[in-house]
Structure 1
């Protein structure tokens, strides 16, 4: 039963099944405007199956199973997001092979890298950008999808043993729980989604054009049912906005249809009509004045972190990213709480 496509089969498959599993997900975000959960790969170490949420009208059996499961994933942030958004659940215990491998000092921690490192198996990533909403899946796509869970539990055993041998298993547990909590608390969508990378350098007039063009692109992508990057990239939006401020006429791609060009021009005219008082403002970050005491304390913290990281043979950012170290050096209230218990103990904070 490589593919489960009916709710009755799903219920039967999960009936009396143990709580330990490995899960991966596939979506169609590279091919559609609205992201859909297209495939769930499941393994309990013995049975490896594909679950088709596009065909199954009632996924409650899986949702109920996951509410009690101990689930292994790789790079779990995205998979937890997909399960939360589409099934309304994140398993109570989520272990991440990527976190575990990094805590062991592995520098190449993509899934394929870890399978090769721990299992001595090379897997092809030929279907990584495939359209997972298409049916039927090709045999190559099915093999690719199953490979993403077949090796998770065997790798997990090796990783857990090595973590325990090195005395880092508690670090792993706390790190995985923190990642799960972050995914659970994360809100879907964000305020002012048009504030993309590079927008911070724009003045209010440029931001006004950018906002209008972002929503133009979003509407075009929705009508076309394609990801927004297929209409144009973020860098192009920034460049057009900068040019409009200077009075330049944007050079649109030749393949744009007349209707798309018309809506673009309407968006520009709408932006030009915005009064200065109504223009969006730049978000100014807090700039710290040059403070020798702060810089000295920060340098000491970073040096201490890097020294410990070198001794443990792991990345310094795992012990403490720069942002919380800056907050600690600046004496911000509660700054230490940005670090996990094991990180604070290593740094003696």
Structure 2
């Protein structure tokens, strides 16, 4: 690895951001923590770029910096190259309210090229025949100073991204998947990275689809209270009220302190600093919530587990399509994608773009009884038209 630069002054950071806005492409990674917080907290930035055939790597300490000038880079035409970008995009948006205007994700590309959703270490080994340094995965990246081993370990996350992109695109051009890769990278770039809408938090409650009557309104209001409290206090929602306590409150709808104290999963520590009053107010509000005020999941969003046979059939078809195309099955369609389509949801990943062409249309035909699956006599499956 070439020499690694370290930036922790505002002047150096601002100058670098403006400089990189003029390059063709740059590699980017972040280190962050969120184990004990609602929002991710950026602890380190790693960036690599090339000039005159030479690669430069810098590690940036964001803790003392104002990151506003990073918007200049993210909004530029320079292509951001990341690996497994989803969480990094959320971190960047939280740090400077922007995501890159152009994105290439090496993990997404690997999923289209017969390598699955490869880890960075496996992809570097496969494409560059190099081994990434092993480091302590439990490093506290907010502690200062970082030692040279930690800095080198962080820098290695961007060291090979630029050459790997070139190799991945070369392979994609040969098998005709480049357009799909670029489409999927753009979809990931455009994903909503803003905090969860509190009024939809109840969709994640186990068994929420089976709720009836006033319990639906109670679920919406109490889950929304928990989500807003977690956001305000920057704590994981389970620290505000555990999932078991939330589910129990929804089922029992306690109307006073005595009833609340008997709810399973709730004890006094979760009722401090006005929390008990907030929960009871949410229960009362939810009990009176009118149908027009309910925020229900989109059709097909939460179908439950009563599609077992249909889901299994859909997953088998996706596995067969994966075998034919070399595309990672979970990239083609997740369990939730298949469920949503089976339940008739008219929007979603399988209803537009490359997925609709490759998997969505065939799954719809399967669920409509127009095609079926049978053994091919060789231990595999084949898709057959049905009369």
Is residue 37 of structure 2 the alignment partner of residue 32 of structure 1?
yes
Gaps of 5+ in 2: 301-309, 363-387
1:282 to 1:220, Cα distance in 2 relative to 1, 3 A: closer
Is residue 178 of structure 2 the alignment partner of residue 152 of structure 1?
no
Q: How many residues align?
A: 335
Matched position secondary structure for 2:288: helix
Tell me how far 1:20 sits from its aligned partner.
Answer: 1.3
Paired residues of 1:23 and 1:73 also in contact (CA < 8 A): yes
| CA distance, structure 2, for counterparts of residue 346 and residue 241 of structure 1 | 38
Matched position secondary structure for 1:192: helix
Taking the TM superposition and a 5 Å limit, the aligned residue runs for 1:87-236 are 87-118=96-127, 119-124=129-134, 126-127=136-137, 130-180=139-189, 182-183=190-191, 187-195=194-202, 196-198=204-206, 199-203=208-212, 204-205=214-215, 208=218, 211-212=221-222, 215=225, 219=229, 222-223=232-233, 226-236=235-245
1:333 to 1:266, Cα distance in 2 relative to 1, 3 A: closer
Greater share of strand:
2
Matched position secondary structure for 2:269: coil
Is residue 221 of structure 2 the alignment partner of residue 238 of structure 1?
no
Is residue 15 of structure 2 the alignment partner of residue 7 of structure 1?
no
| CA distance, structure 1, for counterparts of residue 36 and residue 97 of structure 2 | 23
Choose between structure 1 and 2 for higher RCO, CA contacts under 8 A separated by at least 6 residues: 1
| CA distance, structure 2, for counterparts of residue 192 and residue 104 of structure 1 | 39
| CA distance, structure 1, for counterparts of residue 266 and residue 159 of structure 2 | 44
Paired residues of 2:245 and 2:265 also in contact (CA < 8 A): no
Q: Please name the residue that 2:373 is paired with.
A: none
| CA distance, structure 2, for counterparts of residue 338 and residue 303 of structure 1 | 19
Q: Please name the residue that 1:318 is paired with.
A: 331
Gaps of 5+ in 1: 288-296
Of the three residues 286, 289, 303, the one matched with 1:278 is 289
TM-score under structure 1 normalisation? 0.74
1:304 to 1:137, Cα distance in 2 relative to 1, 3 A: same
Tell me how far 1:244 sits from its aligned partner.
Answer: 5.3
Is residue 351 of structure 2 the alignment partner of residue 338 of structure 1?
yes
Deviates more, 1:232-241 or 1:299-308: 299-308
| CA distance, structure 2, for counterparts of residue 249 and residue 89 of structure 1 | 45
Paired residues of 2:218 and 2:286 also in contact (CA < 8 A): no
Tell me how far 1:99 sits from its aligned partner.
Answer: 0.7
Matched position secondary structure for 2:43: strand
Please list every run of at least 4 consecutive aligned residues from structure 1 whose deviation after the TM superposition is greater than 6 angstroms: 297-304, 322-337, 345-349
What is the RMSD computed on CA atoms of the aligned residues? Answer: 4.3
Of the three residues 59, 62, 72, the one matched with 1:64 is 72
Matched position secondary structure for 2:80: strand
